[in-house]
A and B are shown apart, each in its own frame.
Chain A
Amino acid sequence: MPADAGLLVRFWGTRGSLPKAADSAMLQDKLQAALRQAAGRRFDDDDAIERFIRDELPFPVSHTFGGNSPCVQIAAGDDEELICDMGSGARELGNRILAERGSPRTYHILMSHVHWDHIMGFPFFVPAFIPGNTIHIYGCHPGLEEAFRRQHGPPSFPVPFDALGADIRFHVMPAGETLDIAGFRVRSHLQLHGGDSYGYRIERGGKSVIYSTDSEHKHEDEAALADVAAFFRDADLVIFDAMYSLADTASVKEDWGHSSNIMGVELCHRARARHLCMFHHEPVNDDATLYRLLQETRRYEEISRRDHPLHVTSAYDGLEIRL
């Protein structure tokens, strides 16, 4: 894919705070719903079953939003890509890249912050174990390297950081500046979150993606909202922390460092962004709830729309968005 062929955004982990495993109760609910809908139907072959699942079953029955914690891949062609965060989704991402492209290879990883849900996949990111690979890890936290080293230290993990085979280099970036990383223009933005987090505006070939997770937006702070809207300005895709409801962020979960679907729509409308992708899902929410939240958010977008429509999606493990 040539550099101007656009960007491919692939979600490997979309859950916030803690990975969430699928359980039997959830599976049985889905089976029940699928069988109910299939009652009285006849399927002549596996293709017919596949078509039924794909075309007729509602999304929360045929899919799951998944349960891995944050990891997002932004690729420009086969060879250049950025990886945002090293949540538990990074395990599968690492395995996929190894299987498809092998070693040696250079990886570029951009870290929003170093809370555990955003680094926990790194000890299981197999490319880090393979000599010949180079892994660059970028972030704005001075304690970036220490956080990665600590989770490899005893008694938490059996392989010490220094025993990892890859050449791993940390780059602490000045907040608010624009840098060139692997052919992408990357600008960071300080966000309101316990211990700070950073959002990134990632641009290449005329396309722009905002990766903004673990970020609270205060209703009262008009200046900060205007700042964020400027950071999101005209973005093709905004990956947004929509963990809680607006009411929660204004009451019991105020100062917990996360935002809401409503705030996402408002900021994207202001910024004239094209696509809002809800992200960092609350582990308590099941697939039906997350899907209902998506529908409600689309409805709110429609009601509150100013002059141009905003496309709204909700991230799930495995989702791909082409820009």
Chain B
Amino acid sequence: MEIESQHFADTVVLSAHGRVDDEASEQLKGALLAQVDTCEAEGERLVIDLGEVEYISSGGLRALMMVAKRVHSQDAVMVVARPSSVVREILEISRFHLMIRMFDDIPAALAALSPQAAEAYGAR
């Protein structure tokens, strides 16, 4: 699994690629928790882009839950974008989507978080 990040104005888009199996979920958790802390410290918002994630294991789901918990306890702002249909199913069955908002694409996620970020994304 690979994770890359891009900045659009005051928002970070973190994109994961590949399968989030139990091993990759540790990596994902570490990267996301660090990013949540940074975003909170700098007043930035965070989009987790799952568009290139084809599967997420129970370990990956637990990692996302831990991140969601941290987000809630810190008043950070995080959303999920572009979950594949099977990933969306997993997130819905676990009720993760009631903790963290999900969007079908990056522009919609950015528009919901920050007009400047949406504009920066459009002007790429």
List residues of A whose CB falls within 8 A of some B CB: 219-220, 245-248, 250-251, 254, 260-262, 265-266, 269, 296-297, 299-300, 303-304
Question: Given A246-B94, A251-B72, list of 6 further CB < 8 A pairs?
Answer: A219-B62, A247-B95, A248-B95, A299-B93, A300-B89, A304-B57
Q: Are A246 and B68 in contact (CB under 8 A)?
A: no
Q: Are B89 and A246 in contact (CB under 8 A)?
A: no
How many residues of chain B are within 8 Å of chain A by beta carbon?
18
Contacting residue for A297 out of B69, B93, B96, CB 8 A: B93
Q: Are A246 and B61 in contact (CB under 8 A)?
A: yes
B65 on the A face (CB < 8 A):
yes
Q: Are A219 and B66 in contact (CB under 8 A)?
A: yes
CB nearest neighbor in B for A304? B58
- For B39, list chain A residues within 8 Å (CB): none
A266-B58, A304-B58 known; A219 vs B93 contact (CB < 8 Å)? no
Cα(A70)–Cα(B99), bound, Å: 30
B106 on the A face (CB < 8 A):
no
Q: Which of B68, B69, B93 has the most CB of A within 10 A?
A: B93
Contacting residue for B93 out of A248, A251, A254, A300, CB 8 A: A300
A219-B65, A296-B93, A300-B90 known; A262 vs B58 contact (CB < 8 Å)? yes
- For A262, list chain B residues within 8 Å (CB): 58, 61, 93-94
CB nearest neighbor in B for A263? B58
List residues of B whose CB falls within 8 A of some A CB: 57-58, 61-62, 65-66, 68-69, 72, 86, 89-90, 93-96, 98-99
**A-B residue pairs in contact (CB < 8 Å), sample of 12:** A219-B65, A219-B66, A245-B94, A247-B94, A250-B69, A262-B93, A262-B94, A299-B89, A300-B90, A303-B89, A303-B90, A304-B57
Cα(A261)–Cα(B62), bound, Å: 13
Contacting residue for B68 out of A245, A251, A260, A304, CB 8 A: A251
Cα(A82)–Cα(B98), bound, Å: 40
Cα(A248)–Cα(B98), bound, Å: 9
- For B86, list chain A residues within 8 Å (CB): 303
Q: Are A247 and B99 in contact (CB under 8 A)?
A: yes
B119 to A: closest C-beta gap in Å: 32
Which 8 A/B pairs are nearest by Cβ-Cβ distance?
A245-B95, A247-B95, A246-B94, A219-B62, A250-B65, A266-B58, A296-B93, A300-B93
- For B61, list chain A residues within 8 Å (CB): 246, 262
Cα(A266)–Cα(B57), bound, Å: 10
Contacting residue for B66 out of A250, A296, A304, CB 8 A: A250
CB nearest neighbor in A for B55? A303
Cα(A248)–Cα(B62), bound, Å: 12
- For B93, list chain A residues within 8 Å (CB): 261-262, 296-297, 299-300
- For B62, list chain A residues within 8 Å (CB): 219
Contacting residue for A251 out of B57, B58, B89, B99, CB 8 A: B99
Q: Are A247 and B68 in contact (CB under 8 A)?
A: yes
- For B99, list chain A residues within 8 Å (CB): 247, 250-251
Cα(A145)–Cα(B9), bound, Å: 65
- For B68, list chain A residues within 8 Å (CB): 247, 250-251
Cα(A247)–Cα(B91), bound, Å: 9
